[in-house]
Amino acid sequence: MGRAGSAAESAAPRAHRPLPPLPPGSWLGLLGGGQLGRMFCMAAQSMGYRVCVLDPDPHSPAGSVAERHLQADYLDEQALREIASTCRASTTEFENVPARALEFLAVHGIVSPAAASVAIAQDRRAEKAFARECGLDTAAYVDAASADDLRAAPADLFPGILKVARLGYDGKGQASVASVAQAIGAFDAFGAVPCVLEKRLPLEIELSAVVARGFDGRSVAYPVAENVHRGGILAVSTAPARISQELAMRAIDATRRIADAMDYVGVLCVEFFVLADGSLRVNELAPRPHNSAHYTIDACITSQFEQQARVMAGLPLGSTRQHQAAVMLNILGDCWFRPLGDAQPSAAPREPDWSVVLRHPSAKLHLYGKREPRPGRKMGHVTVLADAVDEAVRVAAQIERELGIVRPDGATPSPGGAAGR
């Protein structure tokens, strides 16, 4: 396995001075307590590190497994000082943590990725501009800070997608628009916040490439995943992607180009659109481990979360070799409201029967410990492993039907809407 992953070590011409490795028992700081943080905690703890999580949610998934959980706002100075005094290195679990918090921690210790890198990914305008500065293509777009900007938008941007510039994820803050009038209506519905208007592209496939880059400038890349979204939320990731080696390497090379231009340190994901002519368009950057690479926990020698811990601790990067084909299925809160065999959704949530997943010997179930299931909320994932991609796809499709993610006829029940982390 690992067509792309086996090619994956590179050293950039610009590099940080390597850090002395942090010994086991050292504290690592984490801003954000969602499921990505939970999986990071588990990976870091398996290597002997302790984790201090800062998240205002008293029931955060990461906070429930970390050695320490500070329940405070991300800009709470006392909490930040506590992390700075306790932790030798800190990172973020999601890109919408205020960059100011990372800047504060960077004064007192090691922070990866740097606040400047996170700030680019926090704003779609900066993100797209940076990709173009790197010589990479994006969908045609214009910045839209007002209704007048939308009125002045080129006609060939329609039909398009209006996206809020900041704080949009999992389909939130996006609207398909076919005309200026629709765009202005969506802009007003979003609260007249800065947006980008992006031309809708005729997609062949969606891909994501994930690299880990250390303080010494060396990087490793994972096999590229192909992704399917439903209702704006990632539903299925298949790795390795069923694409040519040449296309996979172009995606990896583009991701490395962005990482090197940022002088990035940490785990970085770049999502791509692939058009009918085989050309790539950068869609989004994620300065953190990514949902589409959860398969690396079970299918690769080193998971993306272990890489994140290795980078923070100044340790050598691990192998990204994929030892089995994998299909990852997101489990949304909708499954709690569509019990198997029921004709209609239930009003009250009921725990799904997980035996329908685990009776497949090659399926690995990961639940995130979230107390409240809601439609559209990511509650867990399943990774199906196989010696061949087609077999993993077949078993994953069967599990989707058995969990009610898709109906027996293959149709997808109407999603309940994105409900966030």
**Could you report the per-residue pLDDT of 166-205, keeping only the tens digit for each?**
987 666 789 999 999 999 999 999 999 999 999 999 999 9
Q: How many Cα atoms are found within 13 Å in the side-chain-facing hemisphere of 234?
A: 25
| CATH domain 325-403 topology | D-amino Acid Aminotransferase; Chain A, domain 1 (3.30.470)
Structure tokens belonging to residue 263: 């002088």
Cis ω before 223 (30° cut-off from 0): no
Q: Which residues of the chain have pLDDT under 50?
A: 2-8, 11-18, 415-421
Comparing CA positions, the residue from 307, 329, 285 lying closest to residue 94 is: 285
The pLDDT assigned to 340 comes to 57
Of all residues in the chain, what percent carry a pLDDT higher than 90?
84
Q: Are 357 and 403 in contact (CB under 8 A)?
A: yes
Instruction: Considering only CA atoms, give the Rg of the chain.
Output: 21
> Containing H/E element for 104?
helix 99-108
- The structural architecture, per CATH, of the domain 5-122+203-313 is 3-Layer(aba) Sandwich (3.40)
Domain with CATH 3.40.50.20 in the chain: 5-122+203-313
Fold of 140-199: Dna Ligase; domain 1 (3.30.1490)
70: phi then psi, degrees, rounded to nearest 5: -95, 110
Q: What is the pLDDT of residue 415?
A: 46
Residue 220 β-bridge partners: 212
* 284: Cβ contacts below 8 Å, ≥ 6 apart: 121, 124, 127, 270, 271
* Residue 165 · residue 120 · CB < 8 Å: no
CA distance 416 to 404: 14
Instruction: Tell me the C-alpha distance between 161 and 198, whole Å.
Output: 5
Q: Name the segment(s) of the chain with CATH classification 3.30.470.20.
A: 325-403
pLDDT for res 12: 46
How far is Cα 209 from Cα 330, in angstroms, rounded to an integer? 18
323 C-beta neighbours (distance < 10 Å), count:
14
Instruction: Delimit the CATH 3.30.1490.20 region(s) of the chain.
Output: 140-199
β-bridge mates for residue 52, sequence order: 29, 68
> What tokens appear for 150 in the block?
């939308």
Query: Using CA atoms, how far apart are residues 309 and 87, in angstroms rounded to an integer?
Result: 13
Shortest CA distance to 221 belongs to which of 284, 307, 337, 330? Answer: 307
The enclosing H or E element of 278 equals: none
* Cβ atoms 305, 39 nearer than 8 A: yes
Residues 238-260 as b/e (b if ≥16 CB within 10 A, e otherwise) read: bbbbebeeebbbbbbebbbbbbb
CA distance 79 to 70: 7
pLDDT of residue 223: 98
Q: What is the per-residue DSSP string for 98-143?
A: -HHHHHHHHHHSEESS-HHHHHHHT-HHHHHHHHHHTT--B--EEE
